[in-house]
Each structure stands twice: as structure tokens, then as C-alpha cells.
Chains A and B, each alone.
Chain A
Amino acid sequence: MKYKSQKVAYWFFALSMLLLSLQLVYGFIMGFAHAGMDGLHEWIPFNTAKAVHTNLLVVWLLSGFMGAAYYIIPEEAQHELVSVKLAYVQLISLALVGVAAIVGYHFNYWEGRKFLEIPRPLDYLVVVNVLLFLGLILITLFKGKRKTTTALVLSMGLLFAALLYLPGMLDFDSQVLDSFFRWWVVHLWVEGVWELIMGGILSFLLIKLTGVDREVIEKWLYVIVGLTFLSGILGTGHHYYYIGVNKIWLIVGGIFSALEPLAFLAMALFAVNMYRKGEKKHPNKIALYWTLGSAIVSFVGAGLLGFAHTLPQTNLYTHGTIVTAMHGHLAFWGAYAMIVFAIISYALPNMTGRKYYDSSRGRMAFWLSNIGMIGMTVAFGVAGVAQVYMERIMKIDFMKVQLEIQVHFIVLIIMATLFSVGITLYIIEFIKHGKPTDEALEVKTQ
């Protein structure tokens, strides 16, 4: 850690860990309901559990990205954050809005639009919160001594993510238009600008961990985010195949979304090659595990499994089935959860001065959570493919099929338990690091 104000990142990471734990609880509620055990239905029906599960994911990832930005931007710009106090105000208001939304979901207070369930009045508070965050980051960046590509790409990702929240607030009387513009937010976030944020964090970590020249790493960063937008913007079309808009999207969405794995492949090759090239062997092995892991798992989860059902002729059958959940889980885990874990694992020893660089608990956390998540993906995949065959091809009734595939959700719960053990170990490791301290400034960081 080089700047005192970087410490604020710790509290964003802590909020992330808290919300992640809660997300897992609601995931289990849904898993048990799918397996036929819905004892909580009266208090937490499935639609509440689902809205809470997905929204907590978005909020904890955003909190992680914000923490990453508060850590990275001062170091890249070589300037203290312009106001630490306002950063804390932003943290607290983010937590309050998130908690208010989640409590509201238990009382039928929501908007009922998938992934964007936050009710409109709270949407405005989200906008204010994000503007405050962006203000702090961008002013720090422009007051700083240098403007690196890594910092610019990260900030651009965060700025576009904020702008793209707005189409989700438009009102339509047509479900078709509603859905069309809802994907401007959801798709262009996760298959567009969030990849800029991921790329920025990845680039920062690779510069720090491998010692490869910044110019080389940042050149490839441009190529990767270039591939992301080249495929991802028109790739939005894969959400438009079957929602009541023109057939042209079948061709455009089919071709460009089929190219989307290229960006993730480039990211994986880039990370592994930089690691191989690097002459510096940074002692923080755990951070390296998560960094390389994120680049590789995101290629499998987001790239390959996304490709598996993105062509229109396949998607005609898989659209609206558990197959989507299969892809969604490994994609979010690899691309976004793991990159947040990577930056936390890198930043934590630097902020607290405690160098738990290669503990066995840290390694267990990595392997158990990854094996658990891959197991979950397989369980979703088997359930999804069975559902597609029975429901869409053999034309068996929806609920009869659901009863047939219940057993796969038992497997899912077992694998989710393994995953949760991994996450628990990671959080224990997080707590063991203790609080951030200014004394850490004097500890030499590498």
C-alpha cells in the first residue's frame, strides 16, 4: 500500500464478503425448493429468494469493483483519493440502499423485472450513489500525476456501467420493448463494460504479480477490451432471438455472440503468458491463484458454456431453461467473483501488513470453492439438458419434468455445500488479516 486513502477499499471488500454470505443462504433456499423442500414458502417464496440471490450478487460484485477502484486508482494515478470521508458516505449509502431493496423484496416491494428488481425510488438513490463514487474516482484520476491505460480502462468500465443503468429505468407499456431495453443494462454490463472492469483489474494484478513491462500488458489489454466490444455489443442480439423482434437479430446475434468467447480466450492466454514471461516471482501465491484462475474459469464458464447455447438453432430449445443457470453460475463465478477475490487477496496483505501469502487455508479456499462451483455447473447442466429433451422435444408437461429432474438438485446442494466451505475459509482468511492500518505503509510492498 502506498497511499493512506487506499485503506477505504477494505470496507468495500468487507461489505462484499457480508453480502456474498447472505447470497449463498438464499441460493440454498432456491436449491432446496427445486428439490421439493419449500418449507419457507410462506415467508420467503421462490420469487423473493431469486430476486435477493441475484441482486445480492450484483451489489457485492459492485462493492468489490468499487473497492478495487479505491485501491487501484490512487496507486495508478499516484495521488491520494480526493475525499476519504465522502468515500465512507458512499459506502454507507450503498449498504443502506442494498439492504432496503432486499428487505423490500420480502414484502412484495419490487419492480418484477429480472435482475433489475430494485423499485424506482431506490433506483434514483443508486444513481446518486454511483455519481458520488464516479466523482471521487475520476477527480482523483485527473488530479493524479499519471494517467495509465489500466486506470483509464477501469474508470471507463465503471463510467459506462453507470450510464447503462439508465435504459433500465425507462417505462414501456410493451413487454417486448421492456425486455429489449432491459438487456441494454444486463447484457451490456456483464458481456460488455464489466469486462472492461475485469480487464483493468486483471491488468493491474498482472503488472504487480509478474513484473512484466506495463507497456506490454497494457497493449494486450486494449486488444482484449477491443475484442470484447467488437463481439459483445452486437452479441446483445442473442437475447433478441425469441422476444418478438425482427429475425435479423438471429443472424447478427448468432454471428457476433459466437465471437464473444474470443475475448475470454485472449484474456486466459494473456494471463498465462504474462505469468510465464514474468521474471519477478511475487510471494503472494494466493493472489496469483485467483488471478490466473479467474482468467481461465471465465473462459470456460462465460466463453465455452455461453457458446454452447448461443447459436439460434440451439437456443430455440434451451432458451428459458436451467441450461441458462448452468452457464450463468460458472460465468459470474469465473469472470467477476474470482477477479474480486483476486484483488482482495492481493490488496489485503498490503493494507493490513499481515503477509498471509501462501497459507494452506487460502489454498483450500481456492480449490474447494472452484471444485464446488464446477460440480454445481455440472448438476445444472445435467438437469438443464434433461429438461430440454423432456419438455421441449418429448413435449412432457413442465411440472412432470421438474419432478423428474429433482434429483439433480440434491447433487447441486451437495456441491453447493462444498463451494460454501471454500467461501467460508476465504472469509476466515479475510478476518484473520485484521483491520487495515497506516503502519502498513511502512511495510515494503512488492
Chain B
Amino acid sequence: MLSKKQARAFFLGGTLVTFLIFIGLTIYSLSESQDQSNYQNITEEVSRGKHLWEKNNCMGCHTIMGEGGYYAPELTKVVERRGEAYIKAALMSEAPWQVNGRKMVAYNMSEAEANDMVAFFKWIGEIDLNGFETVVSPLAKDKINN
């Protein structure tokens, strides 16, 4: 029968080994040669867009790369799906943007801010998401029902 000492060794040993593998895999998958995000394409506009994305807690309602609030549409491929003009209109609207009755906060953004957001969405839209991008945001040409 397992002794307490052996149980402790199992806990400490297992933790140490899996932790080291985890760190190794983290270093490997974040190394430059494995980049799937086009990191070099992050411009100042994209960074400002990300800052606005966070400052306004957009992921409190929307999702991006599948992460967020599940209350408003996924925005990973939003530029391809809706086009720049639509996105900017929603962001610059003075009244709550409202589609099918569900309201968005009226952010009343400036043109420059809306452009930064679009730059951020464009960068996001080009990331290789291991296949998720084709499932989550059907492009107009893929749609069969609407």
C-alpha cells in the first residue's frame, strides 16, 4: 500500500516534471520561428487599437479569438465580414448601436480612434488560429443560410 512519503514524492515529482515541460513548451511555442500572429505587423495603430479595446472592456460583451463575453458577436474576422465602414459607424455612433434589439454602448469614438480599432481588428484577422477562424466567423461567401 502507498505510504504517505511515497504520496508526497508523487506530488512533488509530478509537479516538478510537468512544470518544467510546461515552461519548455511555453518557450518553444512563443519563439520567433513559431510565431503565427505576424508579430512584426503590430504597428502603433494596432497597439493603440488594443489599448482602446481594453480601456472600454470590449471583451465584456464581444469575443475575440473566442474569448470574451458571449453577449455580442465574435470579432476575429469582423473586417472581412462587415467591412471598415460598418465597424467605424458602430464605434463612432452617438446613440447606442442596436442590431436586432441588443444595444451596444455608444462610444462616440473619433475617426482616428475608430481607425486604430480597425487596424487592431485587421491584425487579429490575419492570425493563424489553427482552424478556428474558419468555424467562428463565416465569411459571406461561406454562408449558406443568410
Contact = CB atoms under 8 A, between A and B. Distances in A.
A226 B15 contact: yes
A233 B15 contact: yes
A225 interface: yes
Nearest to B54: A112
Contact of B60 (A48, A227, A319, A325): A48
Contacts of B22: 233-234, 236
B128 A244 contact: yes
Interface string A277-321: 000000000000000000000000000000000000000110111
B103 A41 contact: yes
Contacts of A170: none
Given A179-B65, A246-B36, A112 B11 contact: no
A400 B73 contact: no
Contacts of A105: 57
Interface in B112-141: 120, 124, 127-132, 135-136, 138
Given A173-B42, A245-B36, A398-B74, 19 more contacts: A41-B96, A45-B103, A46-B71, A47-B105, A108-B57, A111-B54, A114-B67, A149-B8, A173-B47, A174-B42, A175-B50, A180-B26, A230-B14, A245-B34, A248-B29, A249-B29, A320-B65, A320-B67, A402-B102
A445 B69 CA distance: 46
Interface stretch (A88-96, A133-141, A214-222, A417-425): A214-222
A45 B105 contact: yes
B60 A320 contact: no
A222 B129 contact: no
B interface residue count range (under 10 / 10 to 19 / 20 to 34 / 35 or more)? 35 or more
A241 interface: yes
A320 B68 contact: yes
A433 to B, nearest CB: 36
Interface of B: 2-4, 7-8, 10-11, 14-15, 18-19, 21-22, 25-26, 28-30, 34, 36-37, 39, 42, 46-47, 50, 53-61, 63-74, 96, 99-103, 105, 120, 124, 127-132, 135-136, 138, 142-146
A241 B67 contact: no
Chain A's interface: helix, strand, loop or mixed, by majority?
A: helix
Size range of the interface on A? Answer: 35 or more
Contact of B67 (A230, A243, A402): A243
Interface of A: 30, 33-34, 36, 38, 41, 45-48, 50-51, 105, 108, 110-114, 117, 149, 173-180, 215, 218-220, 222-223, 225-227, 229-230, 233-234, 236-237, 240-250, 252, 256, 316-317, 319-322, 324-325, 392, 394-400, 402-403
A320 B14 contact: no
Nearest to A192: B15
Given A222-B10, A229-B14, A38 B130 contact: no
B18 A229 contact: yes
A33 B67 contact: no
Contacts of B10: 222-223, 226
